[in-house]
Structure 1
Amino acid sequence: MNFGFLMNSAKVNFYDAEIITLPIYTQLIERVRSELDVAGGWIYPPLVSVDDKRNLCEKLQFKKNGPMVQEKYFTLPATHSITFADGHQDDEFQRFLILGYGFLFGLYLLPENYLYFCKIPHNSLILHPLIAGKNDCEIGIMKIYQFYKSSKSEDRKQMFAILHWFLMGQTYDMEWDRFDAQYKVMDGLYRLARSKKIIKKAPFHASRPVFMAEKFGIQLPSWAVLDPKGKSELSEMRNRLYHEAIFAGKPIGYECPKNNYSLEFPNFNLKMICKMLGLNTKYINVPPGDRQVHAWDLIP
């Protein structure tokens, strides 16, 4: 199965499979570099005119033509392929491995001809702070392979959703949308950990991250610490956003949180994802607010 878009030419062998670049990889990279709209580490959807969507009143009252807007869906060329010694594996398995391989780079990778529906990063340090070396790619994809093969169907689906929304959820422009996405990822991790009987049931919603942090040996962010009433800043932020359209104490869009959820929440979820996938990295011990770049340095 072909997939992309990835600017990394390393060949990776694992079990009965390998990931290699396509024969026209170099030409594809050069073509993409000359054609794509790129800024700040992101690839943006192409612009299209919506002048034909203006109604008669708009054409009479407004002098300018309709605006150029970002295309709702777009594709990128495949740069790599994943192949198996027996010549075939089911599509679900291959899609899982492709998504997991992208996670190692902090990139959202899709099979060939699949549609992207928002900006995506081309820089591997946009969505998480970990750099993957060749050994990390091989060790990491083997762990992801093992997770899939050792998990039941519902747990595979849940991990796919976790990886998908951990990566995609960070592409939103608005902070409340990114917060909402990472909260869903955290809840997905809790459900998966419960399904695999890794943790016991939390007595109430706000205690879920506390239970997981204790089980996985991860430093709990200050905003998830419980007060004497069993609440946390995180749980209160979540409840008011979900049920009252209030974010950071004001109507959505009128205030920013004092805590840096856009940095610390993905970092917290990243560590829990690593634990669930069996990715043994020293990054697990890094404080939540750390801004430095780290190597995966995965241990087999």
Structure 2
Amino acid sequence: MEQPLSAPLNGIAIEFGYYPKPCDIATGRFSVQTLPDHENSVATVVGDPNAFKDWIYPGAQQQRDFMSGNVRSMPYNARVFGLPKTHVLTLHEGRSREELDFVVWCLSFFFGMRLTTTEAGFLDATPIKSGVLVDFALVRCTVADVIELALDYLDSEGGDPRAPKRVAAVIHALFLAQYPHSLPFEQFQYLYMALDACFKLVVVKEAQKPSVPHAGRVQWMCEKFDMPVPDWAKSDKATPSSLSVVRNDTVHEALFFDGPLGFSIYGGNQPAADPGNTTLQMQAMVCRLLVAVLGNPGISYVKTPVDTRQRHALELRG
């Protein structure tokens, strides 16, 4: 069930959350306000018994017996759940509900934690601390800069209504892949889908649509944005990328490194099978491609290599 929209005289607004920090800004295009019960909402979430190591889980599924009214905790967890709303976003200039949702998705990405406008917008688990789901930190830029970037993107993509939907889909897949209890093949599938959606976002902007097979898509994007090409994405006519080989086996044969799904880690079960941690690098690649798609592809962060666990500074207008 969604939160009802408010309708201020000068725009359209909706509550969103969960974001643990106060945030109050106002410009001619938008405003963000912290809800009055923010402090209590944060205390409730942080103190929840299902919160653990910067994540919160939904807990056991509850089922009510309609005849007796008794509530039973089921032997399995709920999956979809909600958290308190903490802020309200208002957009001016005749914006729509879909644009409100898109801006919140972009805030989610740049904050590195899932935010939602819906009553139950979380699946399986979600971070309760910012920065958990990305490898960058905003430097010399503000929440206002993020919202301006999102609105500028909406304005630039007015002729393609699927573009913002694809951006939201990439962010969601990136976040789903990082659920702490995902199996390796699940992480890989979500991240591969995110990379493929990034390719779609980029390739549809080309005047002459190139025919790029799966084996070369990440390399093609890296070369377009002058990014270092990771080893797992390198491809030529004689040798497809190792990423595409894993993708073909997983999608077409339900084999993940020669084992049934769930029976193997990335690279196989031999010691040090994947010393480069390819799935972690795939996460980093998705982050860089999203920044390139949403903003200026010349931003220095986009050019940084993905084969490191280093946290990078991100200047949106750099």
Decide: shared fold, TM above 0.5.
yes
1:165 aligns with 2:173: yes
1:18 is paired with a residue whose SS is strand
- Whether the 8 Å contact between 2:28 and 2:92 is mirrored in structure 1 is no
1:125 is paired with a residue whose SS is coil
Aligned twin of 2:223: 214
Aligned twin of 2:147: 141
1:264 is paired with a residue whose SS is helix
Q: For residues 36 and 103 of structure 1, what CA distance do their matches in structure 2 show?
A: 26
Q: For residues 149 and 205 of structure 1, what CA distance do their matches in structure 2 show?
A: 30
1:219 is paired with a residue whose SS is coil
How far does residue 293 in structure 1 lie from its aligned partner after superposition?
1.9
Q: For residues 283 and 26 of structure 2, what CA distance do their matches in structure 1 show?
A: 29
With over 3 angstroms needed to count, the CA separation of the structure-2 counterparts of 1:47 and 1:299, relative to structure 1, is same
1:102 to 78, 97, 108: 108
Q: For residues 84 and 207 of structure 2, what CA distance do their matches in structure 1 show?
A: 40
1:41 to 51, 54, 63: 54
1:274 to 291, 295, 300: 291
Q: Deviations over 1:144-194 (max 9, x none)?
A: 111112112122222222222222332261111111111111111111112
- Whether the 8 Å contact between 1:224 and 1:234 is mirrored in structure 2 is yes
Aligned twin of 2:132: 126
- Whether the 8 Å contact between 1:21 and 1:81 is mirrored in structure 2 is yes
- Whether the 8 Å contact between 1:264 and 1:289 is mirrored in structure 2 is yes
1:244 aligns with 2:253: yes
Q: Which amino acid aligns with 1:154?
A: R
How far does residue 133 in structure 1 lie from its aligned partner after superposition?
5.3
2:177 is paired with a residue whose SS is helix
- Whether the 8 Å contact between 1:15 and 1:142 is mirrored in structure 2 is no
Q: Deviations over 1:46-95 (max 9, x none)?
A: 2236798xxxxxxxxxxxx9864211221111001101346x63210000
Q: Which moved more, 1:220-229 or 1:180-189?
A: 220-229
2:45 to 15, 27, 32: 32
Q: Deviations over 1:190-248 (max 9, x none)?
A: 11112222784244221111111001111111111115514110000000000111112
With over 3 angstroms needed to count, the CA separation of the structure-2 counterparts of 1:192 and 1:130, relative to structure 1, is same
- Whether the 8 Å contact between 2:104 and 2:117 is mirrored in structure 1 is yes
Q: For residues 92 and 165 of structure 2, what CA distance do their matches in structure 1 show?
A: 25
- Whether the 8 Å contact between 2:60 and 2:74 is mirrored in structure 1 is no
1:8 is paired with a residue whose SS is coil
With over 3 angstroms needed to count, the CA separation of the structure-2 counterparts of 1:264 and 1:26, relative to structure 1, is same
With over 3 angstroms needed to count, the CA separation of the structure-2 counterparts of 1:14 and 1:165, relative to structure 1, is farther
Q: Which moved more, 1:252-261 or 1:144-153?
A: 252-261
Q: Which moved more, 1:3-12 or 1:246-255?
A: 246-255
Q: Which amino acid aligns with 2:291?
A: C
Aligned twin of 2:164: 156
Gaps of 5+ in 2: 1-13, 66-71, 268-273
Q: For residues 114 and 186 of structure 1, what CA distance do their matches in structure 2 show?
A: 27
Q: Which amino acid aligns with 1:204?
A: P
1:114 aligns with 2:120: yes
Q: For residues 284 and 204 of structure 1, what CA distance do their matches in structure 2 show?
A: 23
2:31 to 8, 15, 18: 18
How far does residue 14 in structure 1 lie from its aligned partner after superposition?
4.8
With over 3 angstroms needed to count, the CA separation of the structure-2 counterparts of 1:51 and 1:173, relative to structure 1, is farther
1:211 is paired with a residue whose SS is helix
TM-score by length of 2: 0.82
Question: How does 1:228-267 map onto structure 2 within 5 Å?
Answer: 228-256=237-265, 257=267, 258=274, 259-267=276-284
Aligned twin of 1:289: 307
How many equivalent pairs are there? 287
Q: For residues 51 and 23 of structure 1, what CA distance do their matches in structure 2 show?
A: 33
Q: For residues 199 and 271 of structure 1, what CA distance do their matches in structure 2 show?
A: 24
1:127 is paired with a residue whose SS is coil
1:185 is paired with a residue whose SS is helix
Structure 1 residue runs of 4+, over 4 Å off? 49-52
- Give the CA RMSD over aligned residues: 2.4
How far does residue 250 in structure 1 lie from its aligned partner after superposition?
2.6
| Percent identity (aligned) | 25
- Whether the 8 Å contact between 1:4 and 1:111 is mirrored in structure 2 is yes
